[in-house]
Each structure stands twice: as structure tokens, then as C-alpha cells.
Amino acid sequence: MMPMTTVIINGYLGKMGTEAVKAVTADANLTLVAQTDKNDSLSEVIQAKNPDVVVDLTHPSTIFENCKSILKSAHAVIGTTGLTTEQLTNLDTLAKDNNKGVFVIPNFAIGAILMMKFAKEASKYMERVEIIEYHHDKKADAPSGTAIKTAELIAEGNSEINSTPLDETEIIEGARGATKNNIPIHSVRLPGHVADQSVIFGAQGQKLTLSHDTISREAFMPGLIVCIKKIGATTGLTYGLENILFSS
């Protein structure tokens, strides 16, 4: 029999938190010992309940501080986006010092992970690439964590992609999007979207588009549950679901 893992969901009143509470409650090997949101003291609840794992689905403005308080005594599964590279490094050190795992997962949906994996592969054979990501109009950060991670993976696959400069002038600043690893990222924010992304590759006389559309937030739950169950065997930072699903 699998040992029971005790869990706190932080941000339970939000769109992702609501789904996460349902998913954890429905799993026979997980026990939800508390759910917290903006008006609760996360550190006091952690102290009182002593969970194995805290899942954070809150806001970019608070995620670094939340993560630091979680890692004092529990493993941290972080779905909240917006952590900087420097903050990730700090969290890795803190987690290792405390013998805890921290999973920072820009996207829990398997389809999105496959899109990123295929994009890394395609990058080896194509000359240019741009990313368009689409989210609902309440999303706090831009570009999305998934777009940033995709750009990083494409650059790992082909560090020369987009290296030929284009002969162009931006008539309106920002028209060509933000850039990460020399890859333009265009962020669309509209009601009606959950989380979609297209990675568009171009080469002579052809283009290749890899698209992933999230129809509902249920898409994120199987990945989240895997993370909760696997984090107990890890220490330090793991960044991206692909490193959990596709390793060994």
C-alpha cells in the first residue's frame, strides 16, 4: 500500500486552487489537511498541520515569500508562475539546505509538455521561430511561464535559431513582441481563453506550427497529482514537468 501523503493547497479559492482541492480530495493516497488563501497565515497553518507537501497556486507577487516559508518544513509544488532565474537558484539552495524538494512547474498539462518537447526537437531543423501565447484576461504575468520555458528549451535544442538578423524597423515599440533567448514571444490576453500556445517555425518555403489548447483547468490536474506523489523522493529544485515525467 502507498503511504498517505498529507497536503495543503495554498490559493484554494482561485481557479486553479478550486480544481486542485477537488483532485487531491478524490485521490485515495492523498489527504488534504488544510486549504489556505489570501487571508490565512500560511506559515502558521503549516506549523499547525505539518504537511508533507504544500501546493502553491496563488500570485506572482507572493510566490517567492510563500515558497521560502513552505521550504522551512515541507516540500513545495509550485504552479504559480513569475519566479525569476535568480529566485529559482535561491530556492534550490534553500531546499537543499533543508533537505526538501521544490518543483516549479510552469505547466502541469501533458499536452503542453509534449508541445515543448516537440518544439525542442523541431528547433534543430528550422531556421526561425516565434511563440504566441494566449491566456484569459485575469492573468497577472506576461509572458507566460510556459512561453519562457519553451523559449529556453528551443534555445537548448538550437542555440543558432533566429541568429540571422532581420532587416526591419519597429514603427510602434513592442510590435515584434518580447524576446527570450532571441525568440520573440507575443502575449494575447482575452476573456474566453484558458491557456493556449502556438510555436511557429519558419524555413524556406514552409512553416511548422505546434499548438496546444487548454479547454479546461482539469487538464492540469493529473500532472499536479504526479508531482505531489513524486516530490517526497527529491531534494532541491526541479523545473518543469518533463523532468518528472520523462526521467528514468
Ligand X SMILES: NC(=O)c1ccc[n+]([C@@H]2O[C@H](COP(=O)([O-])OP(=O)(O)OC[C@H]3O[C@@H](n4cnc5c(N)ncnc54)[C@H](OP(=O)(O)O)[C@@H]3O)[C@@H](O)[C@H]2O)c1
- Nearest CA-CA partner of 21 in 208, 163, 218, 178: 218
**Nearest residue (CB) to ligand X, 82 versus 184:** 82
Candidates 8, 9, 16, 221: give the one binding ligand X (CB under 6 A).
16
Helix locations, 124-173, DSSP H: 145-157
Q: The C-alpha cell of 199 is what? A: 510555436
Its sign, for the CA torsion 175, 178, 184, 185, is negative
Residue 135 catalytic? yes
Residue 5 as a binder of ligand X (CB under 6 A): the answer is: no
Which position's Cβ is nearest ligand X?
Answer: 14
Q: Which stretch binds ligand X (CB under 6 A): 43-51, 56-64, 67-75, 171-179?
A: 56-64
148 binds ligand X (CB under 6 A): no
Q: Which of 75, 100, 120, 135 is catalytic?
A: 135
Written as nine digits, the cell of 3 is 503511504
64 touches ligand X by CB under 6 A: no
3-state helix/strand/coil string of 182-202: CEEEEEEECCCCCEEEEEEEE
Least Å from the CB of residue 137 to ligand X: 11
Residue of 59, 68, 139, 230 with catalytic role:
139
- The yes or no reply on residue 225 touching ligand X (CB under 6 A) is no
Using rule CB under 6 A, residue 240 touches ligand X = no
Alpha-carbon gap, residue 109 to 224, rounded angstroms: 9
Residue 1: CB minimum distance to ligand X, A: 29
Q: Please say whether the beta carbons of 147 and 155 come within 8 A.
A: no
Active site residue 139: yes
Report d(CA 246, CA 248) in Å as an integer. Answer: 6
- 69 makes contact with ligand X (CB under 6 A): no
Count of residues making up the chain = 248
Residue among 77 and 126 whose Cβ is closer to ligand X: 77
Nearest distance from residue 93's CB to ligand X, in Å?
A: 22
Shortest distance, position 57 Cβ to ligand X, whole Å: 4
CA distance 54 to 70: 7
Active site residues: 135, 139
